[in-house]
Structure 1
């Protein structure tokens, strides 16, 4: 089979998969020997996608699923994937970057996503989403006892989301989320939306990474963030402001403040008693404008 098939990992990119190859993948999933499945940009015939989705639903081992770049190419496939995720209880990371879902396709997926107990990392970048999707996504953010909530969210390159949508997302994030990483790069957010997200940063005790590259900020928006990181305690460790109308000087000042904050936090953690080993699992992230999904250790 083309691609990389290490123990616990199947990674294939840009191939047209035959029925036999899909069957082999399904067998691996059903045998619970695969933790990461990445079929980024692969072409799969319609008659093979259904069995693949069924195998994903039956797998008890898969924790990361990358179907970026058009594998879920229509609402029918979104429905099949949704049915699979309703049955699956092991997945924690789902990457659908570059899938033409639209609000309609996400509506089909949401029932399964909203009840999945362990899903914490979600990439819906470049999925043609609009304001209608924001309300659906907002409902996924907070933990509710039955599920952990979303910790890592990518909404890059969904320019149909308006100021109203970003306002709604900001309220949801500020209300009850435990978000750690938020990527909203290459969207029409502007200074108004940046101000709302700055409030989210100020109030959050979990947010560590905010990517706002190419979001239409001016120097005013950059100064809002600079004032925030200079004068208020934040958990933020990385703020990406490049490809905006924010001066290099302001960006450097922001980065300098965040570096100091990160060093202070590290010193405080080093001085505190060791709480013991952690049992949590941090999922990989997918930025499919640049790279494929990170591999999960077998």
Structure 2
């Protein structure tokens, strides 16, 4: 245990270990709890979720790789979220959540006062789940929503699901980071993504690695960057069949881009945006994948 954090990976947790974790949660001694890939008895998971609900210091909860695989555990997690008021980040990557599990969680996620980061990558989500998730990206002027969303490797999402998500992104005023790598997106949806990016005032980091995008889709992204101001700073396009010359042009656009939605500006307006080629900020396009942190 580090000060304010407990990080355990791939271990089978004994009842005594879970009891100690629960005591730390109840005394508000933990800000980060990561039990990535750990196994524990159902009765211990129940006690753990009760303690999470009571904890006022917990900011990040990592249950990646199947810790909450079944519906009974998802229900307990939802109950914990209903009581907890401090959590900012929830990681469920690699959980057999599915649309049903997401449905059990969605109200708790939507009503949580602090949650801003959600990872449901590789969670068997389909278009039905996307319809639920867009409720966490409220339109401009509505309540606060997610600032970071990970949907990596949910390959059952179709063109219709992605279209719905990208529409929500264009209207969201808070989403800053979007990870949708290793999905079946393709050129048509890349074009819709470019349109949503042109309308976003906040999205600065996007990972679309390995999404079946070719020169055709990349050209739409390039044309958007050349003609519309955008806060985009980091773009991952590795694993797509895109010509190096187009990648170079996209990178040049990003490097020349001065973010018109800068933190030191209270609100962006078209009048505050400079022409695309006069931008001086140094964003980047990543053509090689970074190690996954889950």
Secondary structure at 2:209 match in 1: coil
Contact between 2:171 and 2:199, CA under 8 Å: does it hold in 1? no
Partner of 1:149: 145
Deviation, structure 1 residue 232: 1.6
Distance (whole Å) between structure 2 residues aligned to residue 126 and residue 213 of structure 1:
14
Partner of 1:276: none
Distance (whole Å) between structure 2 residues aligned to residue 171 and residue 158 of structure 1:
18
Deviation, structure 1 residue 291: 2.3
Matched pairs, number: 271
Contact between 1:119 and 1:148, CA under 8 Å: does it hold in 2? no
Deviation, structure 1 residue 148: 2.3
| Pair 1:161-2:162 in alignment | no
Partner of 1:291: 293
Higher relative contact order (CA 8 A, sep 6+): 1
Contact between 1:117 and 1:146, CA under 8 Å: does it hold in 2? no
Distance (whole Å) between structure 1 residues aligned to residue 223 and residue 142 of structure 2:
38
Deviations 1:186-223 (A, max 9, x none): 00111111111101110111000111101111110011
Partner of 1:220: 216
Contact between 2:139 and 2:168, CA under 8 Å: does it hold in 1? no
| Pair 1:201-2:203 in alignment | no
- Which runs of structure 1 show a deviation greater than 3 angstroms over 4 or more consecutive aligned residues? 143-147
Distance 1:225 1:152, change over 3 A: same
Distance 1:146 1:205, change over 3 A: closer
Distance (whole Å) between structure 1 residues aligned to residue 226 and residue 178 of structure 2:
21
Partner of 1:129: 125
- Tell me how large the CA RMSD over aligned residues is: 2.2
Deviation, structure 1 residue 290: 2.2
Contact between 2:171 and 2:200, CA under 8 Å: does it hold in 1? no
Deviation, structure 1 residue 257: 1.4
Secondary structure at 1:254 match in 2: helix
Contact between 2:64 and 2:95, CA under 8 Å: does it hold in 1? yes
Secondary structure at 1:239 match in 2: strand
Matching residue within 62, 83, 86 for 1:90: 86
Contact between 1:215 and 1:244, CA under 8 Å: does it hold in 2? yes
Contact between 2:4 and 2:31, CA under 8 Å: does it hold in 1? yes
Contact between 2:187 and 2:213, CA under 8 Å: does it hold in 1? yes
Distance 1:45 1:71, change over 3 A: same
Distance 1:87 1:231, change over 3 A: same
Distance (whole Å) between structure 2 residues aligned to residue 219 and residue 191 of structure 1:
8
| Pair 1:100-2:96 in alignment | yes
Partner of 1:252: 248
Partner of 1:51: 47
How do 1:107-118 residues align onto structure 2 when only pairs under 5 Å count?
A: 107-118=103-114
Distance (whole Å) between structure 2 residues aligned to residue 220 and residue 265 of structure 1:
26
Contact between 2:139 and 2:171, CA under 8 Å: does it hold in 1? no
TM norm structure 1? 0.86
TM norm structure 2? 0.87
Unaligned runs of 5+ in 2: 267-288
